[in-house]
Structure 1
């Protein structure tokens, strides 16, 4: 399959966008991502992929727990906030309303649709992203949920390009 064909297929899929947050040794991190999927029913497992270029990736190497916040079509500003800045240069949580979460996780108050996860494994196959396989500790959601889609965020310039990854294969 050519790269153009893959891009066409993935554009048609138009995945829901999420913000992942975590904390390790008192250091908070979070970023926007679109690579994620349920990976087990019994037990309940979920996978998500982090860019090696991101500050969140480096913090995740030391983190055990994560929160995935499912963005709604009303959360474009939040997607821009977490998707266009680097945690190396700014505190992404400054000015964002947070709730203290399970396991000390920073939870985005504006995003009630979320999962709290415990890391099981991290898979690095040498690409520009790593896969975190997790166990679902809790799932939260209420009201109507219309997800923010990749096609609504494609115009955002990421805080780092994938070529800036910290560890080259």
Structure 2
């Protein structure tokens, strides 16, 4: 574990908000473990903590939406990273969102980039489960590549759940 900690301590990876829905239940959380994992076919892997309500909703969902945030969106990161829906708190009442053409996963209106992915499979990773996504819809590209919200920007947040 020490060797991995020494390696990951130098990383400053992008943070994402991942949202999903199953029926009338919506959920979303702040995620740092995510990456493109295939070019052809295009695939993206998102890792959700098994302690998280978003994971419990996502297990029965067909799609996830993955949102990149600008570095000035720490309030959104705090909402999705420090609050839990387990206590009945509805995070979506505090942001502008819409349902995309491909159904269930809420799309945050102010994300600098987003895509909706169909869940193709799951991978057990210990205290996180990987969701393999096949992109089916995405937001329009912005005119410039904005500075993204990164792990270093949010490491002071108190998580809504332990990892």
Q: Does structure 1 retain, via aligned residues, the 8 Å contact 2:22–2:104?
A: no
Q: Is residue 122 of structure 1 aligned with residue 149 of structure 2? A: no
- 1:4 deviates by 3.0
- 2:13 paired with 1:12: no
2:99, 2:106 within 8 Å by CA — same for their partners in 1?
yes
TM (norm. structure 2) is 0.92
TM-score by length of 1: 0.89
Q: Which whole-Å CA distance do the structure 1 matches of 2:46 and 2:64 have between them?
A: 10
- Pairs within 5 Å for 1:1-169: 3-89=1-87, 90-102=89-101, 103-125=103-125, 127-140=126-139, 141-142=141-142, 143-162=144-163
Aligned residue pairs, count: 159
- The answer to whether the 8 A contact 1:11-1:151 is kept is no
CA RMSD of aligned residues (A): 1.2
- Give the Cα–Cα distance (whole angstroms) in 1 for the partners of residues 52 and 26 of structure 2: 13
The separation in 2 between residues aligned to 1:50 and 1:120, in whole angstroms, is 15
Partner Cα separation in structure 1 for residue 94 and residue 156 of structure 2: 23
Unaligned runs of 5+ in 2: none
Moved more, 88-97 or 5-14: 5-14
Give the Cα separation in 1 of the matches to 2:160 and 2:100. Answer: 26
Q: CA–CA distance in 2 between the matches of 1:7 and 1:138? A: 35
Q: Structure 1 residue 95: deviation in Å? A: 2.0
Q: Partners of 2:151 and 2:158 in 1: how far apart?
A: 13
Worse-matched range after superposition: 100-109 or 13-22: 100-109
Shift of 1:152: 0.9
Alignment correspondent of 1:167: none
What secondary structure, in the 3-state scheme, does the structure 2 residue paired with 1:83 have? helix
What 5-or-longer segments of structure 1 have no aligned partner? 163-169
